[in-house]
Every structure is written in C-alpha cells, then in structure tokens.
Amino acid sequence: VDMALSNVLELPASGFNFENSARNAVLEDVLGDGKTKTPKPMKTGTTIAGVVYKDGVVLGADTRATSSEVVADKMCAKIHYIAPNIYCCGAGTAADTEKTTDLLSSNLTIFSMNSSRNPRVIMAVSILQDMLFRYHGQIGAFLILGGVDFTGSHLYSVGPYGSVNEVPYLAMGSGDHAAMGILEDGFKPRLELDEAKTLVCSAIHAGIMSDLGSGSNVDLCVITRQGVDYIRPYQESEFKDQRQGRYKYKPGTTPILRENVEPVEVEVMQETVQKMDTA
Amino acid sequence: MQHCADGGRMREYHYTGPVEHKFSPYAFNGGTVLAIAGDDFALVASDTRLSEGYSIHSRDSPKCYKLTDTTVLGCTGFHGDCLTLTKIIDARLKMYKHANNKGMTSGAIAAMLSTILYGRRFFPYYVYNIVGGLDEEGRGAVYSFDPVGSYQRDSYKAGGSASAMLQPLLDNQIGYKNMENVEHAPLSLDKAVQLVRDVFISAAERDVYTGDALKISIITKEGVREETVPLRKD
C-alpha cells in the first residue's frame, strides 16, 4: 500500500497545475478596463549576496522593500530561516519569497522530527526546485540558499523557473550587478571570517548605493558547523535625518463637531470565585 | 497552424506575422521640484539626482535653472526635454531684451513658457515646470505648469516624482489646511527654508527617485542665493 509519507511534500496528480490561470485571465479583463489595474504585488527590488568562506557561509541582504518606486518598508528582513543550519535570502515578489521559504521551513521541520537529523542543504534545494518548476515561473522567487551540513558548506541560487546553481559566491536582485562587481574583485577561496563579512557587506553596500531598488541597512547571517550568527543590522545607513521643525499638533487642531456618550449597560449574570492555593 | 494539447482541450496557435517593437522617444529621469512664494521672497528647491530605471546617472544634476536675477525655473521629467526647453527659454529671454530694452518679468516668463509648451501640443515636452520669482511689486510669485502649457499662479507647489508626497504636507504647513485653532502666521524666509529641508528629507526616505542632495535657490530683491543640503544617497 502506497501511503503519502508525512515527511514528503504532497505531489499533485500530473503535469502543471493551472487551476487559477483561467480565473486570473477573467479577473484581468474585468479589472483591467483601462482605469483600474490588477494590484501590483510588492517586490523587494533588492541586493542579496552570499559567499562561502573557510568555515561556512556568509549571507547578506539590504533592507528596503519597494512597491512600484515608493519605499514600502525601510527595515524588512530578507534573510529567512529555513532550518537551524540553513538560511535563505529572497529577492523578487515579497509575498512569494516569504511563503515559499515558510513552506520549505515547515516541510524540513517535519523531516527533522521524523528522522532526528538536521536537514541537508541539497534537500532544501530539491524541494524548492520541484515546487518552483511546477508553477512554471508564476512564483516570482529569486533565492540564495546557504547552509552547512555534514557534507560541507554550500551556497545555491534558485530561480523562479526552478533553475539551480551551486557556486562559491553569488549576488541576486536588482542590485546584483553592482554587488557582483565587488565580489568578483574581492573573492578568493578559503577566506577568513572577517574578510568574508567585509566582502559581503561591501557588495551589499555597492548595491544599496548604485541601485534605486535597494537601500537602508545591511543584514548579515554567518552560518558555521557550530551555529548561526544573525546580525541585523550589521551596518546601518550613514544618513541620519535631522529634521529641524517640530511637527506636533496641539489638542483641538482637529475640531470635535459632536460628542455622543452612550453608557454600556451590563448585567451581572453569574459570579464564581475560585480559590488560589498560595501556600 | 499548429495544434497543442492542453489537458485534453485543443487550442489553435498560428503565426501572427512580424511583431512591431515600439521605440519611445521619452524617458523618465526622476527628480522633485518645489517652489514657495513669500511676502518678499521666493524659493525654488530641487533634488540633484538624475536616474533612469533603477540606475543613477548623476548625483549632481540640479533641476533649478536661473533665468534672470528675479526668476528661477525648476523643471523635472525627461532630462533631454528639460535641457532643450531651458536653451529655448534663454534664447527667447535674450531676444526679448534686445527687442524691448528691458528684462522679462516673472509673469511674462510664465506666459511665454505657456505658449512655448502649447506650441508642441502634439509632441509635448515631457517636462513638469515650476517658475518661481518676484513680481513687479516685489512680492513672491510661483507659477506651476503641466507638460502642455496650462498654468496658474500659486503660493506654493510641488512637482516631479515625489510631488504627491510633498503637496499635502505643504497644504497643511503653509496653507494651514485641515487644521483649526492655529494661528496663521505669515511665512518667514527662515521657516520656509527649514520646511523645505525637512520636507525633502521625508521625500528622500520614501521616494526612490529623490535623494543625494537638495539645492535651494532663494530669490530676494538682493538677487538669487543658493544653498545645498545633503540627502540620503541610497
């Protein structure tokens, strides 16, 4: 008897699942009458980077989330927890990266409970690849997965169509060109921890300064066999806004036109006293 | 014609012919401009960032252009059109001076700009203009335009990419809108400059196209003075 194992993602019946594409097309017609548009998902417009160093992996990300050229969140967290030994940076559509990484994390937790082991990085990669390929690119998640397991330190890039690359250093997001320039220049195999942290920080910083979709602070996450060091923020943005005016409003600035006080009638229906043992 | 199977349903695909890719003569280079008119002064302020898409072309490209000793023009939108428009205005100012033996007043410049813009009604200059200066009586004047030349005189106006963020704040702080029991003090130059600085700091926080530095041109009867204030660079 073939039972669905509790530690494996449930696979659908066959082929691609396009249940919602017909509905989306209809909605697009109904809403896209020229005046209203389907709501644009919030994208992170990001710079994320990762580097494999001597004892593990360093992941870095900026903290700005944009919603079509307006900054929606100045301090969003782009380095997501997957497992105690695996973290994932996400670029692309914010909701997609959040939900995909949450789903992955839940599945790996179930696996860990079943087998009393920390998951391997390649497992996370395989599950992600399978899911993203199945959705044919509709899930806009550009991910950098980094982790350390007993086979060693690994850094993978996973694209929205399900493509996977294992590499020693990596940058993704709208600021990837700027970050990659720094990484290509400064990377060498078997870096020390401080060198690796400085390198990733400079790469993200280049993305923050050159790319309009990235900004604010730099978050870092260092993963080793011994544990994880999640540094948020690692480097704060140098600009400290100094507004000179005080923009406080005195009470009465917004006039009260009418006041209506209605007492709430309460009736005591039942009273119970439970003694607490304070001995 | 090809037939593709798709979950049992048959759909027909056919070659539609050569596909035309459109060339757009315009680009959006970002930037925000603000002008305030006081009793005896006018301010025109702009950020200095020039961008395209998600990249930065320049961190030092101010959008205020001094036209005369009493008038400054702020223009944002497509940088190519901004440059051409300012060249044309400079030439027209010279022509007026030679023909009439006097400089153009702020009101005259505004009226002229309107006709220049409408002259290109069917292939517009993609520029949002704000003219700030002193009128004949020495009082501050601000004229705001749309890309095809419609204009009006205001006491304050914001234009460009962060205009929707700045305008409501100015309505409240200068126009005292949506407030009651507040003393309507006349706007002093120092308060106006401080307000402009604070308002641009806020715009740079939330608008990706605004930042790097702020240039304020202060127009008084002594002439035009400039101040620079740094903003977020990220």
Angle at A42 between CA A181 and CA A92, to 5 degrees: 35
Which residues of chain A are within 8 Å of residue B233 when distances are taken between CB atoms? 209, 239
Task: Report residue B56's pLDDT band, with 50, 70 and 90 as the boundaries.
Answer: very high
Which of A212, A214, A253 lies at the smallest CB-CB distance from B209? A212
Amino acid in position B225: R
Structure confidence by residue, pLDDT tens digits, B68-123: 999 999 999 999 999 999 999 999 999 999 999 999 999 999 999 999 999 999 99
CB contact under 8 A, A243 and B173: no
Q: How far apart are CA A255 and CA B104, in angstroms?
A: 46
**Which residues from A are below 8 Å from B when comparing CB atoms?**
15, 18, 45, 64, 66, 69-71, 74, 174-175, 208-216, 237, 239, 241-245, 247, 249-250, 252-255
pLDDT tens, residue order, chain A (279 aa): 445 555 556 655 555 567 777 777 777 777 655 545 555 566 658 899 999 999 999 999 999 988 878 999 999 999 999 999 999 999 988 889 999 999 999 999 999 999 998 899 999 999 999 999 999 888 989 999 999 999 999 999 999 999 999 999 999 999 999 999 999 999 999 999 999 999 999 999 999 999 999 989 999 999 999 999 999 889 888 787 788 888 888 888 888 889 999 999 889 899 999 999 887
Contacts of B211 (CB under 8 A, 6+ apart): B47, B49, B204, B231, B232, B233, B234
C-alpha–C-alpha distance, residues A59 and A124, integer Å: 16
Token readout for A278 is 């304070």
- Measured CA to CA, the distance from residue A86 to residue A90 in angstroms comes to 13
CB pairs under 8 A between A and B: 78
Which residues pair with residue A70 across a beta bridge?
Answer: A67, B207
Report pLDDT digits (tens) over B144-166: 999 999 999 999 999 999 999 99
Asked if residues B85 and B116 have their Cβ atoms less than 8 Å apart, the reply is yes
CB < 8 Å to B51, chain A = 212
For residue B179, the SS3 value is coil
A241/B51 Cβ within 8 A: no
Q: What's the pLDDT tens digit per position in A77-132?
A: 999 999 999 999 999 888 899 999 999 999 999 999 999 988 999 999 999 999 99
Tokens read off for A119 = 């998951």
